Amino acid sequence: MRGVDTLVDGLIRNGWLLAFLLAVGVWEVVAPRYRLVASRSLRWPTSFTLGPLNALLVSVPLAPLVVATALTARGGMLAADTVLGPGLAIAVSVVLLDLVSYGQHRLLHAVPLLWSVHRVHHSDVDFDYTTAFRFHPIEAVLTNVISFACVALLGVPALALLVHQTLAGGLTVLEHANARIPSPIEAWAGRVFVTPGMHRLHHSAEPHDTDSNFATIFSFWDRWLGTYSPPASGRRDDLEIGLREFREPKYLTLPWTLAIPFLPNPHPHT
C-alpha cells in the first residue's frame, strides 16, 4: 500500500503537469500546424518511456540535493538574505539560470562528445510536444549535475529554483508543440519568450539552422549573443526535421535511440 500511496501522491503533486500535457496534446490534434511524416506508434513509445525514465534518474539521486542546497543557500551572491532582497534575488536567479541553460545548450552542440549524446533529441524526424521528452539519460543526468553546481555556486533561493524549473519545463513542452498559433500572438510573444516557430528551426536538418536558437525560456539570449534565426515560416513550412544520418525508422525505437550516442558520425559538421 505504501507504494500505491507514493504513486498517488506523485500524481497529485504533478497533476498540473499532466493536465498541461493533456491540453497541449489535444491542441495538437485540434489545430495541428504541420503534417507529421512518421508514425506515432514508433515515436511516442520512445518519448513517453524516456520522459519518466529521465525524471526518475534525476529526481531520486539529484533533485533532493539540489533542493536542499537551495533551501540552505546563504553564502552565494543570489541568496535571498543578500543585499538584493528576496524578490530581486528570485528574478535575477531565474534569468541567470536560463542563461546557464543557454550556454549549456551551445556546448552540447559545439563539443563533439556532448553532441553525440544530445543528437538523440535531434534525431526525431518529427516535431511535436513528445519531442520535449526525447533526451538520452546521460544528457538528463549531466545537465542536472550542472544545474546543481550552479545552484550551489550562486546561492539560488529555493523559490527561484521552483519558478525556473516550472517555466523551463512548461515552455520546453510548449515550444515543441505542433500546434497552430496566430502569427501576431507568436510574433509578440517571441520578443521575450521562445516560441514553437523559433525552436522548430533549431530542429532543422540543416546544420546552420540547428546551430541557432538555443534558448529555453527567454529568446533575447539568442538575439543578444548572435545565435538568433527568424522563426520557421514561408518557405520553411516544409522544413526537414531531424538528422539526415538517422532517417531510418529503426532509430525512432527505444533500443536504437539509446544506442545513438555510441554510433558513428558524432557531429554533423564532421
**Residue 150: pLDDT band with limits 50, 70, 90:** confident
- pLDDT tens, 181-191? 998 999 999 99
* DSSP assignments along 208-263, one per residue: HHHTS---SSBTHHHHHTT---PPS-GGGGGPPBS-GGG-SGGGGSHHHHHHGGGS
Please give the grid coordinates belonging to residue 219. Answer: 529568446
Say yes or no to pLDDT of 2 above 60: no
Instruction: State the chain's mean pLDDT as an integer.
Output: 84
- Residue, of 7 and 88, whose pLDDT is higher: 88
- Given phi > 0 = left and psi -120 to 50 = alpha, else beta, which region is 265? left
Say yes or no to pLDDT of 176 above 70: yes
Q: Which of 59-63, 78-82, 123-127, 220-224 has the lowest mean pLDDT?
A: 78-82
Q: Per-residue pLDDT averaged across 89-112, rounded? A: 93
**Residue 77: pLDDT band with limits 50, 70, 90:** low
Whole-prediction pTM value?
Answer: 0.86
State the Cα torsion 3-5-8-13 to the nearest 10°.
Answer: -110
Q: What's the confidence (pLDDT) of residue 64?
A: 61
Distances (CA, A) of 39 to 113, 159, 231: 30, 40, 26
- pLDDT tens, 29-62? 999 999 899 999 999 999 999 999 998 887 666 6
**Residue 16: pLDDT band with limits 50, 70, 90:** confident
Q: What's the confidence (pLDDT) of residue 84?
A: 63
SS (H, E, C) 69-109: HHHHCCCCCCCCCCCCCHHHHHHHHHHHHHHHHHHHHHHHH
**Residue 89: pLDDT band with limits 50, 70, 90:** confident
Q: Per-residue pLDDT averaged across 145-150, rounded? A: 82
Gyration radius of the chain's alpha carbons: 19
